[in-house]
Structures are given as structure tokens and as C-alpha cells.
């Protein structure tokens, strides 16, 4: 079958058996069929290579098919891929121990699952169960997943409306970013009271449009939760594993949450895995009477745990946190220089480490720029809750030349978009 026929067949199968509306949208945008990944590159059905600056929304921090992760998973595959669920499993034990050692103080226990939403779902159950309270404070624009529980605390009405009533008790306040000003910070602190089970927030809002918390906001929230006996849940599904230049986003200000969620990059881009880390006091409240209070058949399976252990080794051996910081600074400097020449279209470049957002002054620009970038061999995407912001989340193994290439292509894409808009104006 030639490449065009193969593409047509896959699009048709999507339309017939997956999601016709999505198939139409993706086909209209001109997307190809992915067939292979290697390092920072994804290859399509025509053999074209793309610099992956989206990395499956932060999954490919180690790039595609990192050899150390593939090797660990292959070895596990040949020994015991799935757990029998009756005996102790050494991979799960090792991973939990490693995570407890590297995560903020107090997070000694770990529940394993298979995705970000499942990790957050467990966090919400644990917070409600451990406090006996129902109020959960979340932030407008946040993204914590699309299962019924996580959707209840995801801060975008558009995704919640159709499924109301959701889990009761969720309240939304503004994310305490510098853009929202000091009032957002005090709004959040004031909302935390003695009825509050937990506050849940990302340390950098990802899908909300790459918003950093204002310095000092997270410590103030932590202090207030402690004062009133509420828990602090930090959702590090996207920010975790070195993305922001530190292992976890909460490490920048030394925050010690009661519960922390991980997923995406934890499986090294080879296996799906979710993890909910929590304190001993949360653990004893949930599990001491019934050790099976929360379970998952596939959670903590040996393949996923082997991938995550290898991932932790690679992050350390290759100094990927430091690399994210350095490459992020280079990328941001290049993008800011580009912004200065396109200030009519680009309103802000912001981010931390290799979690970078470029905000446009108009809604339609992002989509056009993404199409132009894809045409030139660089993949990026806009943030789910904020189409004005393109997010750049390349593998942390990206090198200087690849960063410069991404910036050059971004620049060309904006120039061409500007010309296009001038023509139709």
C-alpha cells in the first residue's frame, strides 16, 4: 500500500470506529500518520521527520524510545510483565522507595495507577476520606483530568457542563499567577477554611495556558491549609520529572504537600503509569481499617514500574533537570527575541524550564502558526483551556542546535501567518 492510501485508510478507520468529528478535524489540519519515534523526533507515514516540541503534552521528557528505558522494559517483558497480584512485587517496591526518597519530605507512601486522571482521582478520594470533609478548592483554567471525579475539579466549564451534576463540593478560584495579581492569591488563601478537605493545584498551570504561580503564593497556601487542617494536593502530572528545571515544580519553593500526583513523563515515554504520593497520616486514615480501600488491577504493573525506575536513573545520569533549565533559558531567550520583532501578534512569552507558553494577541493566530510549524517539521500545540497560547514542551534531552531550529521555525511560521492575515484583512 502506498503512503497516501495508508493515510486514507487510517483516517477512514478513525472516522468509522474512533471519533468521526476528531478525524475530520485532524484531517483538515493536514496531520499525517505517526509510525516511528526516536530521540527528539517523530516520523510520519511518508518518512518525514518532525522535531517533537509537544512531546505528547510532556510525556516524552526522555525523548522517544530512550534506550535505557526500552532495555529495562524488554528485560521485564521477558521475566514477568504483569503482576499476579498475590505476591509482593519487587519492581513496585523499588519504585515506591525511590519516589519516597526523591519527593518532598513527608510523602512516604505511594499508590500506583495508569494515568494522570487516575492519580488525581485517588488524591481526591484520599483527601475526602482522610479529612471527612467535602469541599475541594481548585483553580479556574486548571486541568486535572476528564473522569467524573477529576472533571469535578477541572476548571473549565465547557468540559463539565454536559455531565452535571458532578462530585459536589468543588469550588473554583483564580490561579494565583502574576497576571491575575495579588488579589487572586488572597482570594485563594481566604477560600481555604475549616470545611475544606483540600486545595488542588498545578505548580504551573499547563492546559490553562502555562501560568506560573506568583512567588510566595504556594507557601502562603501551604501555610493556610496547615492552619485549618486542610490538605494540599499538588498535581505534578505535567510539571513533574524535571520539566520545570527541578525534579518537581513544588521543589522551586520547597513546598511539602500532603499529596502529590505524577504520570506522563514518569513512564519514560515507553509505558503509561500514574502515581499518587501521600503522607503516612493520609495513608493510615484510608487504608488502616481496609487495606483494599482503593485498588487498581494494572496499577503498579512490573513493566510500568521497570520503565519508571529506568526513567529516574536516566534523569539523574543525564542531568536532565539542569538540562531543562539551560535549554529552557535558551529557548525562552530566542522566543523573546522573536517576540520583539512580532509584537503585533505575540503578546507574551513565559514559562519555566522546558514548559514554555507563547501567547498571541488574537485567538486564530495559534492555529495558523501551528499549521505552519508542522509544515516546516516542528510539532507544537495550543493549550487545551487557552487556544491563544502555544505550548512548547520538547524532550529534556533536546540540544542547542535543536532549540535554535525550533525558534527559527517558530519565527518563520509567525512571519508567514502575519503575511496571510495582512492579505485577508
Ligand X SMILES: Cc1ncc(COP(=O)(O)O)c(C=O)c1O
Q: Of 125, 116, 166, which is closest to residue 145 (Cα–Cα)?
A: 116
Cβ proximity to ligand X, 73 vs 117, nearer residue: 117
3-state secondary structure 173-217: ECCCCCCCCHHHHHHHHHHCCCCEEEEEEECEECCCCCEECCCCH
Q: What is the DSSP string of 218-254?
A: HHHHHHHHHHHT-EEEEE-TTTTTTTTSSSSGGGGGT
> Residue 212 pairs with which residues in a beta bridge?
204
Cβ proximity to ligand X, 192 vs 201, nearer residue: 201
The minimum distance between CB 213 and ligand X, in angstroms, equals: 13
Cβ proximity to ligand X, 147 vs 179, nearer residue: 147
Task: Give CA–CA dist 203/212, Å, rounded.
Answer: 7
**Burial of residue 132, with CB atoms counted within 10 A of its CB: 0-12 exposed, 13-18 middle, 19 or more buried:** exposed
* Contact in structure between 112 and 83 (CB atoms under 8 Å): no
Cβ proximity to ligand X, 242 vs 334, nearer residue: 242
Cβ proximity to ligand X, 273 vs 365, nearer residue: 273
Task: Give CA–CA dist 81/270, Å, rounded.
Answer: 14
* Interacting residue ranges for ligand X, rule: CB under 6 A: 57, 115-117, 120, 143-145, 202, 206-207, 235, 237-238, 263
In degrees, rounded to 5, the angle at the alpha carbon of residue 80 between the alpha carbons of residues 74 and 82 is: 105
Cβ proximity to ligand X, 54 vs 370, nearer residue: 54
CA separation, residue 104 to residues 199, 237, 263, 275, 343 (Å): 17, 15, 16, 14, 40
The minimum distance between CB 38 and ligand X, in angstroms, equals: 23
Strand 274-278 relative to strand 231-235, pairing: unpaired
DSSP tag of 108 = -
The minimum distance between CB 144 and ligand X, in angstroms, equals: 5
Cβ proximity to ligand X, 120 vs 303, nearer residue: 120
Cβ proximity to ligand X, 114 vs 225, nearer residue: 114
Closest residue to ligand X, judged by C-beta, is 116
Long-range contacts of 377-380, Cβ-Cβ distance < 8 Å, separation of 24 or more: 377/48, 377/49, 377/50, 377/51, 377/409, 378/50, 378/51, 378/53, 378/405, 378/406, 378/409, 378/410, 379/42, 379/50, 379/51, 379/52, 379/53, 379/54, 380/53, 380/54, 380/410
The minimum distance between CB 358 and ligand X, in angstroms, equals: 18
Cβ proximity to ligand X, 261 vs 339, nearer residue: 261
- 420 Cβ partners below 8 Å, 6+ apart? 368
Amino acid at each position: 500500500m502506498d503512503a497516501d492510501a495508508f493515510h486514507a485508510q487510517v483516517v477512514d478507520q478513525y472516522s468509522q470506529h474512533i471519533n468521526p468529528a476528531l478525524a475530520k478535524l485532524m484531517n483538515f489540519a493536514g496531520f499525517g500518520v505517526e509510525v516511528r519515534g526516536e530521540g527528539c523526533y517523530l516520523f510520519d507515514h511518508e518518512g518525514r521527520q518532525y522535531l517533537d516540541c509537544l512531546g505528547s503534552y510532556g510525556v516524552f521528557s526522555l525523548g522517544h524510545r530512550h534506550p535505557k528505558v526500552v532495555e529495562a522494559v524488554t528485560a521485564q517483558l521477558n521475566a514477568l510483565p504483569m503482576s499476579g497480584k498475590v505476591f509482593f512485587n519487587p519492581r513496585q517496591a523499588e519504585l515506591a522507595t525511590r519516589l519516597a526518597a526523591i519527593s518532598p519530605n513527608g510523602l512516604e507512601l505511594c499508590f500506583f495507577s495508569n494515568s494522570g486522571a487516575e492519580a488525581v482521582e485517588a488524591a481526591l478520594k484520599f483527601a475526602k476520606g482522610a479529612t471527612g470533609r467535602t469541599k475541594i478548592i481548585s483553580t479556574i483554567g486548571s486541568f486535572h483530568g476528564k473522569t467524573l471525579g477529576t472533571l469535578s475539579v477541572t476548571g473549565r466549564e465547557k468540559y463539565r457542563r454536559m455531565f452535571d451534576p458532578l462530585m459536589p463540593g468543588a469550588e473554583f478560584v483564580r490561579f494565583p499567577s502574576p497576571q491575575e495579581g495579588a488579589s487572586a492569591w488572597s482570594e485563594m488563601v481566604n477560600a481555604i477554611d475549616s470545611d475544606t478537605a483540600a486545595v488542588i493545584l498545578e505548580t504551573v498551570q499547563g492546559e490553562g495556558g502555562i501560568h506560573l504561580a506568583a512567588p510566595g503564593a504556594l507557601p502562603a497556601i501551604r501555610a493556610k491549609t496547615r492552619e485549618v487542617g486542610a490538605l494540599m494536593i499538588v498535581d505534578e502530572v505535567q510539571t513533574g520529572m524535571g520539566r520545570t528545571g527541578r525534579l518537581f515544580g513544588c521543589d522551586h519553593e520547597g513546598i511539602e504537600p500532603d499529596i502529590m500526583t505524577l504520570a506522563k513523563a514518569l513512564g519514560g515515554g515507553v509505558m503509561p503509569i500514574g502515581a499518587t504520593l501521600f503522607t503516612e497520616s493520609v495513608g493510615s486514615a484510608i487504608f488502616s481499617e481496609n487495606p483494599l480501600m482503593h485498588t487498581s488491577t494494572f496499577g503498579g504493573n512490573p513493566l510500568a514500574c521497570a520503565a519508571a525506575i529506568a526513567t529516574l536513573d536516566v534523569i539523574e545520569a543525564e542531568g536532565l533537570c539542569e538540562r531543562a533549565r539551560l535549554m529552557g533559558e535558551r529557548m525562552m531567550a530566542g522566543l523573546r527575541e522573536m517576540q520583539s520583532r512580532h509584537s503585533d501578534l505575540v503578546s507574551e512569552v513565559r514559562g519555566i524550564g522546558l514548559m514554555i507558553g507563547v501567547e498571541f494577541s488574537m485567538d486564530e493566530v495559534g492555529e495558523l502558526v501551528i499549521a505552519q510549524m508542522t509544515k516546516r517539521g516542528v510539532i507544537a500545540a495550543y493549550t487545551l483551556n487557552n487556544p491563544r497560547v502555544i505550548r512548547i514542551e520538547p524532550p529534556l534531552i533536546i540540544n542547542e542546535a535543536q532549540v535554535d531550529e525550533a525558534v527559527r521555525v517558530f519565527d518563520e511560521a509567525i512571519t508567514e501567518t502575519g503575511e496571510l492575515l495582512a492579505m485577508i484583512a
